[in-house]
Amino acid sequence: MKNITLAIEEEVITAGRAYAARHNTTLNQLVRDLLEKTVMPDRRAAAEEMLRVLNGISGHSRGWKWNREEAHERRG
């Protein structure tokens, strides 16, 4: 976990602390929860879209199985 600094109006901070206290949490936890609820659905949606696209791709290896050495040889 990293610390960040936010610039928020004093009136908003005061109201946020009161809200957090009424809900048995802290302003810090409230901000973390709200940020997570805001941005994580976008990440989940992107991952779901990627899986949808990948599942729609058909391919056939014709029995070939890769190994680590061959994979590194092909890059070089």
Number of structural domains the chain divides into: 1
Contact between 35 and 6 (Cβ < 8 Å): no
Q: Is residue 1 part of a domain?
A: no
Q: Is residue 71 part of a domain?
A: no
Task: State the pLDDT at residue 21.
Answer: 96
Task: State the pLDDT at residue 65.
Answer: 78
Give per-residue pLDDT as tens, 38-54: 888 788 888 888 888 88
Q: Is residue 46 part of a domain?
A: yes
Q: Which domain holds residue 36?
A: 7-54
∠ CA 17-20-23 to the nearest 5 degrees? Answer: 155
Give per-residue pLDDT as tens, 8-64: 999 999 999 999 999 999 999 999 999 988 888 788 888 888 888 888 787 777 777
Task: State the pLDDT at residue 43.
Answer: 81
| Pairwise CA distance, residues 31 & 41, whole Å | 16
Q: Is residue 68 part of a domain?
A: no
Entry pTM: 0.55
Q: Is residue 76 part of a domain?
A: no
Q: Is residue 33 part of a domain?
A: yes
Q: What's the DSSP call for residue 5?
A: -
Q: Is residue 60 part of a domain?
A: no
